[in-house]
Chain A
Amino acid sequence: MAVINTPNGYDLDNSGRRIVVDPVTRIEGHMRCEVNVDDEGFIRNAVSTGTMWRGLEVILKGRDPRDAWAFTERICGVCTGTHALTSVRAVEDALGITIPDNANSIRNIMQLNLEIHDHVVHFYHLHALDWVNPINALKADPKATSELQQAVSPSHPLSSPGYFRDVQNRLKQFVDSGQLGLFKNGYWDNPAYLLPPEADLMATTHYLEALDLQKEIVKVHTIFGGKNPHPNWLVGGVPCPINVHSTGAVGAINMERLNMVSSIIDKCHEFNTNVYLPDVKAIGGFYKNWLYGGGLSSQACLAYGDIPENPNDFSAENLYLPRGAVINGNLEEVHDVDQRDPEQVQEFVDHSWYTYGEAGKGLHPWDGITEAQYELGPNAKGTRTNIEELDEAAKYSWIKAPRWKGHAMEVGPLARYVVGYAKGHEDIKNQVDGLLRDMNLPLSALFSTLGRTAARALESEYCGRLQKHFFDKLVTNIKNGDESTANVEKWDPSTWPKEAKGVGATEAPRGALGHWIKIKDGRIENYQCVVPTTWNGSPRDTAGNIGAFEASLMNTKMERPDEPVEILRTLHSFDPCLACSTHVMSPDGEELTRVKVR
């Protein structure tokens, strides 16, 4: 094949050696990646494939809209709760249900809690091993590690040489046992790993600290939602009542519960400031010259915005996480985003395992059609049930290709921060400028794999501050005599209109998330989700634009093409969530969703 120039500015050349990575591990769900590498080891063509489908939307048809949060929550157990929140918002939007102030604060605290939990678990347990070599940590001097720890984070109490020696001993016994468990077959002698042993030991230690911490973080969900993963939500508010003064307070949100929430918020904040951010800076410092992976982030970023200050107001000015779209690399102009506009969000399926009946069409989610068509292209190698190589000129993924006004977009923490930065969002600008100054890097360094990883850490810290704000707001409101947590005026379906439509939007940890619902006679007539990893992991569209994963892999140098360290590094920086992205299709050519624009 000759070189193909994509409309979004990439030169694809699949003449080099083909490398297949399947399964891509340390992600949520199932994913495959294929790349072509030239003689010098540079990636010149990238193919990203979602390899699972569950069919949630067809299952939702005919159900009670008040139950939809529970179904959609099960789209993903990693970003647990965010689909539920999006769902109750969509139902409330459709039925004109407003929620009380306390419910808004509690939902925000829960959503922010998820952002922090997800970012921490992502960095330490899904992403760190792309940068950190735990085997190399065995060579570290515990005393020097202690000095490093104190230098990068003077306030972190766990920093003695003895502490690091203990962890190192434990690690040594583990490795010496011959049962390497999760570290088995890692790429530990690959030259792509650049950290000195002391930094490896420090980060490996924090892998374990974060594993202990994450089970504490989620207790905020447990208090308000009864369990985690998959806490409970409620259309019209939140299910937990507040009772701080009277008899029966033990069965409600009371002083003890509030104190527990407050202490967890403090704990998260300490970890973010004493461990997470310093680690990202320290590790990033050793990889400063590895600035691959920017992909679409410097060109096209999309954010829906989230965390409303006042309840029931989703205008951009009322949201702490920014909303907007940046296109063509022009940071001077941020476009507003309207999920209801049929011309803005559209999905294409020419390279996805679906058909719209005719080629080249893009459909708004409210007008969407989902009809499966699993077939491999003529140049694919292998068989239908034993794929060796995909043919990206044909259909090649269970993920659709969503586009914003025709543009392939990146979503997620970096996209939010790019949009926020471009909009002059004060907190975001201060954080980004501060980080770049500390690390002595130009703004362009932000548009990279590491920039994505850093934006996530910055956001985790920012979310911690927002959590404090909403906790204080909740307590102040209770103090002022308002204990209300649910609005039940329209709980009974007999109060609903015969037909209604709504949209709910959030910023999931991985990016912009939207649910579109249509209700008829008290039941769900249609339901459609367009999720972050559908944006980021999308295949090519009709015009040939490649998606964010694919773009980010382009022109990356692989140290050893047989060992996909660099591919994992960049894909992981998006925190892929395949169960989310690939829930939308149907088998048997059945038409699943057809919703008219209102």
Chain B
Amino acid sequence: MSSFLQQVINGLSIGSVYALMAVGYSLVYSIMNFSNFAHGGVIMLGAYIGLYALSLLSLPFVAALVVAAFGAGLIAVVLEKIAYSPLRRRNAPGLYFIISAMGASIFLENFVVATIGPTFRTYPQIFDSKPFMIGDIALGRIDVLMFVISAISLGILMFIIEKTKVGLAIRATSYSAKGSAFMGVNVDWIIFVIFILGGMLAGVAGMLFGMRYTVYPQIGIITNKSFIAAVFGGLGSLPGAVVGSILLGLIETFASVAGYSTYRDLIAFALLILILVVRPTGLMGKATEDKA
């Protein structure tokens, strides 16, 4: 029983980091209706910024986290200005956005390979590796930290979306960009906000992920799984992204426990196809229709 609980907690902690990444995909999808594959690159850069903030600038942990968040947010916004904004002005079809995003992700990944190098880097040890003990359940400090920080960040995001004026505008724009533009919503500003929010969460997620595992340029391949989680929950739905991520985290953890760890990624991608076949809009996604 205790080992079961232990695995649940492991699943929750990795699932919560997936959730931080997945809401970035979902935020962009809800407003701009395309899958932002460059998001993995932003997460990767966030991990590197966090790493250097800790090791080179020797900032305290919380300060490094803030630096990683703002750095990644800035990168996401610049990326939007360069790679998507011109397409937006021309009303280009959604698939052009995806290809531009793929280009951006190739660019970011290989830019890091060419400048920083392809080697794996590890974060300096800032936390005691000795786990907390609650009864006979051992909780890794980093696992607990991952869960707590993710929960706080997602809480802040939900507050912004649900309670503030900007959040109201974001929700309105996700229903109808044209309609809300008529009602005086500055869509450019909304897009700026969602990219900076998604980017900041990506920075936090990248740093947490890097601390738990390692940092390397191809980290984006792993973050693709958070995209699967977003599809699982329903692209464009924030609660869906969170639920999908937690479920994916739990499924992966239990697959590893059951001895299928080599099949872990395969399970994620098989799940992706299965969802698309059975219920393409995911658990709570918004349905799209082709209009003539």
Do A and B pair up? The answer is no
